[in-house]
Structure 1
Protein backbone atom coordinates (compact mmCIF):
# COMPACT_ATOMS: atom_id res chain seq x y z
CA UNK A 1 0.00 0.00 0.00
CA UNK A 2 1.38 3.40 -0.96
CA UNK A 3 1.22 5.91 1.88
CA UNK A 4 1.41 9.70 1.62
CA UNK A 5 3.22 11.69 4.25
CA UNK A 6 4.13 15.26 5.16
CA UNK A 7 7.23 16.32 7.10
CA UNK A 8 7.08 19.45 9.27
CA UNK A 9 10.21 20.72 11.03
CA UNK A 10 11.66 24.23 11.32
CA UNK A 11 15.25 22.93 11.31
CA UNK A 12 16.66 22.24 7.84
CA UNK A 13 19.15 19.59 8.98
CA UNK A 14 16.45 17.72 10.85
CA UNK A 15 14.16 17.84 7.81
CA UNK A 16 16.95 16.40 5.67
CA UNK A 17 17.53 13.65 8.23
CA UNK A 18 13.90 12.57 8.12
CA UNK A 19 13.92 12.59 4.33
CA UNK A 20 17.11 10.55 4.31
CA UNK A 21 15.50 7.93 6.53
CA UNK A 22 12.37 7.83 4.39
CA UNK A 23 14.35 7.07 1.24
CA UNK A 24 14.70 3.52 2.54
CA UNK A 25 10.91 3.05 2.41
CA UNK A 26 9.66 3.56 -1.16
CA UNK A 27 6.08 2.75 -0.16
CA UNK A 28 5.98 6.06 1.73
CA UNK A 29 5.68 9.02 -0.61
CA UNK A 30 6.59 12.48 0.67
CA UNK A 31 3.95 14.90 -0.58
CA UNK A 32 5.37 18.05 0.98
CA UNK A 33 8.06 19.25 3.40
CA UNK A 34 7.40 22.34 5.51
CA UNK A 35 9.53 24.51 7.75
CA UNK A 36 6.43 26.47 8.87
CA UNK A 37 3.62 24.75 10.78
CA UNK A 38 1.24 27.50 9.62
CA UNK A 39 1.95 26.69 5.98
CA UNK A 40 1.64 22.99 6.76
CA UNK A 41 -1.79 23.57 8.33
CA UNK A 42 -3.00 25.39 5.23
CA UNK A 43 -1.90 22.46 3.08
CA UNK A 44 -3.32 19.78 5.37
CA UNK A 45 -6.70 21.48 5.59
CA UNK A 46 -7.10 20.73 1.89
CA UNK A 47 -4.94 17.62 1.50
CA UNK A 48 -5.45 14.83 4.06
CA UNK A 49 -2.43 12.54 4.34
CA UNK A 50 -1.75 9.12 5.82
CA UNK A 51 1.25 10.03 8.01
CA UNK A 52 2.63 13.15 9.66
CA UNK A 53 6.28 13.32 10.73
CA UNK A 54 6.02 16.30 13.03
CA UNK A 55 8.51 18.31 15.07
CA UNK A 56 7.14 19.66 18.36
CA UNK A 57 9.18 22.78 19.15
CA UNK A 58 8.56 25.24 16.32
CA UNK A 59 7.88 28.98 16.11
CA UNK A 60 4.37 30.28 15.38
CA UNK A 61 2.73 27.03 16.44
CA UNK A 62 3.95 23.94 18.28
CA UNK A 63 3.70 20.56 16.66
CA UNK A 64 1.28 19.49 19.37
CA UNK A 65 -1.02 22.42 18.60
CA UNK A 66 -0.79 21.62 14.90
CA UNK A 67 -1.76 18.01 15.59
CA UNK A 68 -4.79 19.15 17.57
CA UNK A 69 -5.99 21.18 14.60
CA UNK A 70 -5.77 18.30 12.12
CA UNK A 71 -7.38 15.36 13.92
CA UNK A 72 -8.30 13.69 10.60
CA UNK A 73 -4.67 12.61 10.16
CA UNK A 74 -4.67 8.88 10.89
CA UNK A 75 -1.02 8.47 11.91
CA UNK A 76 1.22 10.97 13.66
CA UNK A 77 4.88 10.49 14.55
CA UNK A 78 6.38 13.22 16.70
CA UNK A 79 10.10 13.97 16.39
CA UNK A 80 11.71 16.20 19.00
CA UNK A 81 14.83 16.92 21.03
CA UNK A 82 12.83 16.99 24.26
CA UNK A 83 11.72 13.59 25.64
CA UNK A 84 9.55 15.30 28.27
CA UNK A 85 6.95 15.94 25.54
CA UNK A 86 6.25 12.23 25.19
CA UNK A 87 3.30 12.04 27.58
CA UNK A 88 1.47 14.93 25.96
CA UNK A 89 2.11 13.57 22.48
CA UNK A 90 0.64 10.16 23.30
CA UNK A 91 -2.43 11.85 24.76
CA UNK A 92 -3.02 12.99 21.18
CA UNK A 93 -2.90 9.35 20.05
CA UNK A 94 0.49 9.73 18.40
CA UNK A 95 1.62 6.39 17.02
CA UNK A 96 5.26 6.97 17.97
CA UNK A 97 7.67 9.47 19.50
CA UNK A 98 11.23 9.80 18.17
CA UNK A 99 14.01 11.67 19.93
CA UNK A 100 16.61 13.58 17.90
CA UNK A 101 19.13 12.81 16.56
CA UNK A 102 17.34 10.11 14.59
CA UNK A 103 18.81 6.61 14.49
CA UNK A 104 18.18 4.30 11.53
CA UNK A 105 17.25 1.27 13.66
CA UNK A 106 14.78 3.26 15.74
CA UNK A 107 13.24 4.79 12.62
CA UNK A 108 12.90 1.28 11.15
CA UNK A 109 10.93 0.27 14.24
CA UNK A 110 8.60 3.23 13.70
CA UNK A 111 7.92 2.20 10.10
CA UNK A 112 7.25 -1.37 11.24
CA UNK A 113 4.82 -0.03 13.85
CA UNK A 114 3.03 1.99 11.16
CA UNK A 115 2.59 -1.11 8.98
CA UNK A 116 1.41 -3.20 11.93
CA UNK A 117 -1.11 -0.53 12.85
CA UNK A 118 -2.45 -0.33 9.29
CA UNK A 119 -2.75 -4.10 9.05
CA UNK A 120 -4.76 -4.26 12.25
CA UNK A 121 -6.88 -1.28 11.20
CA UNK A 122 -7.67 -2.89 7.86
CA UNK A 123 -8.88 -6.06 9.58
CA UNK A 124 -11.23 -4.23 11.92
CA UNK A 125 -12.17 -1.14 9.92
CA UNK A 126 -14.87 -2.72 7.80
CA UNK A 127 -16.93 -4.54 10.39
CA UNK A 128 -16.85 -3.19 13.91
CA UNK A 129 -19.70 -5.48 14.90
CA UNK A 130 -22.62 -7.30 13.38
CA UNK A 131 -26.20 -6.56 14.35
CA UNK A 132 -27.44 -9.82 12.90
CA UNK A 133 -30.08 -10.35 10.28
CA UNK A 134 -29.95 -7.93 7.37
CA UNK A 135 -28.08 -5.09 9.10
CA UNK A 136 -24.33 -4.57 9.35
CA UNK A 137 -22.16 -1.77 10.68
CA UNK A 138 -19.37 -0.43 8.51
CA UNK A 139 -16.73 2.04 9.59
CA UNK A 140 -15.96 5.02 7.38
CA UNK A 141 -13.04 6.91 8.90
CA UNK A 142 -14.11 7.55 12.49
CA UNK A 143 -17.83 7.16 11.76
CA UNK A 144 -19.88 3.99 12.17
CA UNK A 145 -22.78 3.56 9.77
CA UNK A 146 -25.61 1.04 9.71
CA UNK A 147 -26.35 -0.45 6.31
CA UNK A 148 -29.24 -2.68 5.29
CA UNK A 149 -27.82 -5.42 3.09
CA UNK A 150 -30.99 -5.63 1.03
CA UNK A 151 -30.46 -1.95 0.10
CA UNK A 152 -26.98 -2.55 -1.34
CA UNK A 153 -27.16 -2.51 -5.15
CA UNK A 154 -23.53 -3.04 -6.09
CA UNK A 155 -19.88 -2.79 -5.00
CA UNK A 156 -17.05 -1.02 -6.79
CA UNK A 157 -13.34 -1.64 -6.23
CA UNK A 158 -11.09 1.38 -5.63
CA UNK A 159 -7.63 -0.12 -5.00
CA UNK A 160 -7.53 -0.89 -1.25
CA UNK A 161 -11.01 0.53 -0.74
CA UNK A 162 -14.48 -0.55 -1.84
CA UNK A 163 -17.41 1.72 -2.59
CA UNK A 164 -20.74 0.33 -1.38
CA UNK A 165 -23.67 1.73 -3.37
CA UNK A 166 -27.07 1.47 -1.73
CA UNK A 167 -30.38 2.66 -3.15
CA UNK A 168 -29.83 6.13 -1.75
CA UNK A 169 -26.20 6.57 -0.69
CA UNK A 170 -22.57 5.67 -1.28
CA UNK A 171 -20.21 4.38 1.42
CA UNK A 172 -16.43 3.92 1.30
CA UNK A 173 -14.78 1.20 3.40
CA UNK A 174 -11.18 0.14 3.84
CA UNK A 175 -11.21 -3.32 2.29
CA UNK A 176 -10.46 -4.69 -1.15
CA UNK A 177 -13.40 -5.96 -3.18
CA UNK A 178 -11.98 -9.49 -3.11
CA UNK A 179 -11.76 -9.52 0.68
CA UNK A 180 -15.20 -8.02 1.02
CA UNK A 181 -16.77 -10.73 -1.13
CA UNK A 182 -15.27 -13.36 1.19
CA UNK A 183 -17.40 -12.03 4.03
CA UNK A 184 -20.47 -14.13 4.76
CA UNK A 185 -22.69 -11.06 4.46
CA UNK A 186 -21.68 -10.50 0.81
CA UNK A 187 -21.39 -14.06 -0.49
CA UNK A 188 -24.65 -13.77 -2.43
CA UNK A 189 -23.19 -10.91 -4.49
CA UNK A 190 -22.03 -11.76 -8.00
CA UNK A 191 -18.84 -10.45 -9.52
CA UNK A 192 -19.59 -9.13 -13.01
CA UNK A 193 -16.35 -7.30 -13.66
CA UNK A 194 -12.87 -7.10 -12.21
CA UNK A 195 -13.96 -3.99 -10.32
CA UNK A 196 -17.68 -4.62 -9.76
CA UNK A 197 -19.99 -7.02 -7.96
CA UNK A 198 -23.78 -6.75 -7.93
CA UNK A 199 -26.63 -7.79 -5.69
CA UNK A 200 -28.62 -10.25 -7.88
CA UNK A 201 -31.99 -8.98 -6.65
CA UNK A 202 -31.34 -5.64 -8.39
CA UNK A 203 -30.52 -7.07 -11.83
CA UNK A 204 -33.06 -6.01 -14.45
CA UNK A 205 -31.35 -7.14 -17.65
CA UNK A 206 -27.96 -7.72 -19.24
CA UNK A 207 -26.60 -6.27 -22.46
CA UNK A 208 -23.44 -7.26 -24.32
CA UNK A 209 -21.22 -5.15 -22.07
CA UNK A 210 -23.37 -3.91 -19.18
CA UNK A 211 -25.50 -5.14 -16.32
CA UNK A 212 -28.52 -2.90 -15.95
CA UNK A 213 -29.91 -2.61 -12.47
CA UNK A 214 -33.17 -1.20 -11.17
CA UNK A 215 -33.64 2.56 -11.55
CA UNK A 216 -31.57 2.23 -14.76
CA UNK A 217 -28.26 2.10 -12.95
CA UNK A 218 -25.63 0.15 -14.86
CA UNK A 219 -22.23 -1.38 -14.24
CA UNK A 220 -19.76 -2.78 -16.81
CA UNK A 221 -19.85 -6.48 -17.62
CA UNK A 222 -16.45 -8.07 -18.08
CA UNK A 223 -15.96 -10.57 -20.88
CA UNK A 224 -14.88 -13.32 -18.52
CA UNK A 225 -17.98 -12.92 -16.33
CA UNK A 226 -20.72 -13.24 -18.99
CA UNK A 227 -21.31 -16.96 -18.48
CA UNK A 228 -21.64 -16.48 -14.72
CA UNK A 229 -24.25 -13.76 -14.99
CA UNK A 230 -26.18 -15.62 -17.71
CA UNK A 231 -26.38 -18.73 -15.54
CA UNK A 232 -27.89 -16.67 -12.76
CA UNK A 233 -30.57 -15.25 -15.04
CA UNK A 234 -31.66 -18.67 -16.35
Structure 2
Protein backbone atom coordinates (compact mmCIF):
# COMPACT_ATOMS: atom_id res chain seq x y z
CA UNK A 1 0.00 0.00 0.00
CA UNK A 2 1.33 3.44 -0.92
CA UNK A 3 -0.05 6.83 0.06
CA UNK A 4 0.98 10.03 -1.81
CA UNK A 5 1.70 13.26 -0.03
CA UNK A 6 -1.49 15.41 0.25
CA UNK A 7 -0.06 18.17 -1.94
CA UNK A 8 1.10 15.77 -4.71
CA UNK A 9 -1.92 13.56 -5.49
CA UNK A 10 -1.87 12.35 -9.10
CA UNK A 11 -0.41 9.72 -11.39
CA UNK A 12 3.17 10.99 -10.92
CA UNK A 13 2.95 11.61 -7.18
CA UNK A 14 5.85 10.25 -5.15
CA UNK A 15 4.60 8.05 -2.29
CA UNK A 16 4.80 9.67 1.14
CA UNK A 17 4.03 6.41 2.95
CA UNK A 18 4.68 2.81 1.90
CA UNK A 19 3.30 -0.04 4.03
CA UNK A 20 6.09 -2.65 3.98
CA UNK A 21 4.65 -5.26 6.33
CA UNK A 22 1.56 -5.96 8.41
CA UNK A 23 1.41 -8.30 11.44
CA UNK A 24 -1.84 -9.21 13.24
CA UNK A 25 -1.24 -9.13 16.99
CA UNK A 26 -4.80 -9.71 18.25
CA UNK A 27 -7.86 -11.03 16.40
CA UNK A 28 -10.77 -11.14 18.83
CA UNK A 29 -13.48 -8.60 19.67
CA UNK A 30 -11.23 -6.17 17.83
CA UNK A 31 -8.24 -6.64 15.51
CA UNK A 32 -4.87 -5.15 16.48
CA UNK A 33 -2.25 -4.94 13.75
CA UNK A 34 1.35 -3.75 13.65
CA UNK A 35 2.50 -1.89 10.53
CA UNK A 36 6.02 -1.34 9.24
CA UNK A 37 6.06 1.93 7.29
CA UNK A 38 8.56 3.68 5.06
CA UNK A 39 7.81 7.40 5.38
CA UNK A 40 9.14 10.31 3.35
CA UNK A 41 9.39 13.30 5.65
CA UNK A 42 8.60 16.89 4.73
CA UNK A 43 12.33 17.67 4.27
CA UNK A 44 12.64 14.84 1.73
CA UNK A 45 14.46 12.39 4.00
CA UNK A 46 13.28 8.79 4.48
CA UNK A 47 12.38 7.13 7.78
CA UNK A 48 11.14 3.68 8.83
CA UNK A 49 8.42 3.63 11.48
CA UNK A 50 6.41 1.02 13.35
CA UNK A 51 2.83 1.81 14.25
CA UNK A 52 -0.07 -0.18 15.69
CA UNK A 53 -3.75 0.33 14.85
CA UNK A 54 -6.89 -1.21 16.30
CA UNK A 55 -9.80 -2.04 13.99
CA UNK A 56 -13.31 -2.59 15.32
CA UNK A 57 -15.37 -1.06 12.53
CA UNK A 58 -16.80 2.37 11.89
CA UNK A 59 -19.45 3.81 14.19
CA UNK A 60 -22.34 6.28 14.22
CA UNK A 61 -23.77 8.65 16.83
CA UNK A 62 -26.77 10.96 16.84
CA UNK A 63 -28.00 13.89 18.91
CA UNK A 64 -31.79 13.78 19.18
CA UNK A 65 -33.43 17.15 19.78
CA UNK A 66 -36.97 18.44 20.09
CA UNK A 67 -36.86 22.11 19.06
CA UNK A 68 -40.46 22.75 20.10
CA UNK A 69 -39.62 21.95 23.73
CA UNK A 70 -35.91 22.88 23.65
CA UNK A 71 -34.70 19.48 24.87
CA UNK A 72 -32.25 16.78 23.78
CA UNK A 73 -32.05 13.05 24.46
CA UNK A 74 -28.90 11.48 25.89
CA UNK A 75 -28.11 8.13 27.45
CA UNK A 76 -26.18 7.00 30.52
CA UNK A 77 -24.55 3.59 30.65
CA UNK A 78 -21.69 1.57 32.09
CA UNK A 79 -18.33 2.07 30.36
CA UNK A 80 -15.19 0.18 31.36
CA UNK A 81 -12.81 3.17 30.98
CA UNK A 82 -15.03 5.13 33.39
CA UNK A 83 -14.79 2.22 35.86
CA UNK A 84 -11.00 2.03 35.51
CA UNK A 85 -10.61 5.78 36.09
CA UNK A 86 -12.87 5.81 39.14
CA UNK A 87 -15.88 7.66 37.69
CA UNK A 88 -18.77 7.35 40.19
CA UNK A 89 -20.91 4.39 39.15
CA UNK A 90 -18.62 3.75 36.18
CA UNK A 91 -21.11 5.38 33.83
CA UNK A 92 -20.88 7.98 31.06
CA UNK A 93 -23.48 10.35 29.60
CA UNK A 94 -23.50 9.90 25.83
CA UNK A 95 -25.33 10.51 22.59
CA UNK A 96 -26.89 7.28 21.29
CA UNK A 97 -24.86 5.34 18.76
CA UNK A 98 -22.98 2.18 17.92
CA UNK A 99 -21.30 0.11 15.24
CA UNK A 100 -22.37 0.48 11.63
CA UNK A 101 -21.82 -3.30 11.44
CA UNK A 102 -22.16 -3.66 7.68
CA UNK A 103 -25.31 -1.55 7.40
CA UNK A 104 -25.89 1.81 5.78
CA UNK A 105 -24.85 4.55 8.24
CA UNK A 106 -28.33 6.12 8.35
CA UNK A 107 -29.90 2.70 8.90
CA UNK A 108 -27.40 1.94 11.66
CA UNK A 109 -28.02 5.20 13.50
CA UNK A 110 -31.79 4.67 13.37
CA UNK A 111 -31.34 1.14 14.73
CA UNK A 112 -29.10 2.21 17.57
CA UNK A 113 -31.25 5.19 18.54
CA UNK A 114 -34.39 3.05 18.70
CA UNK A 115 -32.67 0.32 20.73
CA UNK A 116 -31.17 2.76 23.21
CA UNK A 117 -33.86 5.45 23.54
CA UNK A 118 -37.06 3.84 22.22
CA UNK A 119 -37.55 6.65 19.68
CA UNK A 120 -37.93 6.04 15.95
CA UNK A 121 -36.06 8.59 13.89
CA UNK A 122 -37.23 9.96 10.57
CA UNK A 123 -35.29 12.86 9.12
CA UNK A 124 -31.54 12.73 9.76
CA UNK A 125 -28.93 15.43 9.18
CA UNK A 126 -25.33 14.27 8.83
CA UNK A 127 -22.90 16.59 10.60
CA UNK A 128 -19.63 15.03 9.47
CA UNK A 129 -17.12 12.24 9.99
CA UNK A 130 -14.30 12.27 12.56
CA UNK A 131 -11.48 10.05 13.78
CA UNK A 132 -12.07 9.66 17.56
CA UNK A 133 -8.55 8.34 18.26
CA UNK A 134 -6.36 8.39 15.11
CA UNK A 135 -3.21 7.65 17.10
CA UNK A 136 -4.65 4.28 18.12
CA UNK A 137 -7.60 3.21 15.99
CA UNK A 138 -8.73 3.18 12.34
CA UNK A 139 -12.32 3.78 13.50
CA UNK A 140 -14.25 6.58 11.81
CA UNK A 141 -17.29 8.07 13.54
CA UNK A 142 -20.16 9.49 11.48
CA UNK A 143 -22.14 12.10 13.40
CA UNK A 144 -25.82 12.94 12.90
CA UNK A 145 -28.56 15.07 14.39
CA UNK A 146 -32.28 14.27 14.27
CA UNK A 147 -35.47 15.88 15.47
CA UNK A 148 -37.91 13.87 17.57
CA UNK A 149 -41.32 14.31 19.16
CA UNK A 150 -42.95 12.45 22.09
CA UNK A 151 -45.19 10.65 19.55
CA UNK A 152 -42.08 9.11 17.95
CA UNK A 153 -41.53 6.82 20.93
CA UNK A 154 -42.19 3.22 19.88
CA UNK A 155 -40.48 1.25 22.64
CA UNK A 156 -38.92 1.39 26.11
CA UNK A 157 -35.32 1.82 24.98
CA UNK A 158 -32.62 0.76 27.41
CA UNK A 159 -30.51 -1.18 24.92
CA UNK A 160 -30.21 -4.92 24.32
CA UNK A 161 -30.11 -6.82 27.61
CA UNK A 162 -28.56 -9.89 25.96
CA UNK A 163 -25.57 -7.72 25.04
CA UNK A 164 -25.18 -6.51 28.62
CA UNK A 165 -26.72 -3.09 27.99
CA UNK A 166 -28.69 -1.36 30.74
CA UNK A 167 -29.14 2.16 29.39
CA UNK A 168 -30.84 5.07 31.13
CA UNK A 169 -32.47 7.69 28.88
CA UNK A 170 -32.07 11.35 29.85
CA UNK A 171 -34.17 14.21 28.48
CA UNK A 172 -32.53 17.55 29.25
CA UNK A 173 -32.45 21.12 28.02
CA UNK A 174 -29.47 21.80 25.78
CA UNK A 175 -27.78 23.97 28.43
CA UNK A 176 -28.38 21.37 31.16
CA UNK A 177 -27.04 18.62 28.88
CA UNK A 178 -23.84 20.57 28.22
CA UNK A 179 -23.44 21.32 31.92
CA UNK A 180 -23.95 17.67 32.88
CA UNK A 181 -21.45 16.39 30.32
CA UNK A 182 -18.91 19.03 31.36
CA UNK A 183 -19.26 17.90 34.99
CA UNK A 184 -18.05 14.42 34.07
CA UNK A 185 -14.49 13.68 35.27
CA UNK A 186 -13.80 12.94 31.58
CA UNK A 187 -16.50 13.69 29.02
CA UNK A 188 -17.47 11.52 26.08
CA UNK A 189 -15.90 13.29 23.10
CA UNK A 190 -18.58 12.66 20.46
CA UNK A 191 -21.32 13.82 22.81
CA UNK A 192 -19.55 17.01 23.80
CA UNK A 193 -18.84 17.79 20.14
CA UNK A 194 -22.47 17.28 19.10
CA UNK A 195 -23.78 19.35 22.01
CA UNK A 196 -21.41 22.26 21.38
CA UNK A 197 -22.27 22.24 17.67
CA UNK A 198 -25.97 22.32 18.59
CA UNK A 199 -25.33 25.27 20.93
CA UNK A 200 -23.45 27.08 18.18
CA UNK A 201 -26.34 26.56 15.75
CA UNK A 202 -28.81 27.79 18.38
CA UNK A 203 -26.80 30.97 18.91
CA UNK A 204 -26.47 31.57 15.17
CA UNK A 205 -30.22 31.15 14.74
CA UNK A 206 -30.92 33.69 17.50
CA UNK A 207 -28.53 36.17 15.92
CA UNK A 208 -30.22 35.75 12.52
CA UNK A 209 -33.66 36.23 14.06
CA UNK A 210 -32.43 39.35 15.87
CA UNK A 211 -31.01 40.77 12.63
CA UNK A 212 -34.30 40.10 10.85
CA UNK A 213 -36.26 41.90 13.59
CA UNK A 214 -33.92 44.87 13.43
CA UNK A 215 -34.26 44.96 9.65
CA UNK A 216 -38.04 44.94 9.90
CA UNK A 217 -38.00 47.79 12.43
CA UNK A 218 -35.77 49.90 10.20
CA UNK A 219 -38.22 49.46 7.30
Name the structure, 1 or 2, with higher relative contact order (CA <8 Å, separation 6+): 2
Does the alignment reach a TM-score above 0.5?
no
More helix by share: 1
| TM-score under structure 1 length normalisation | 0.23
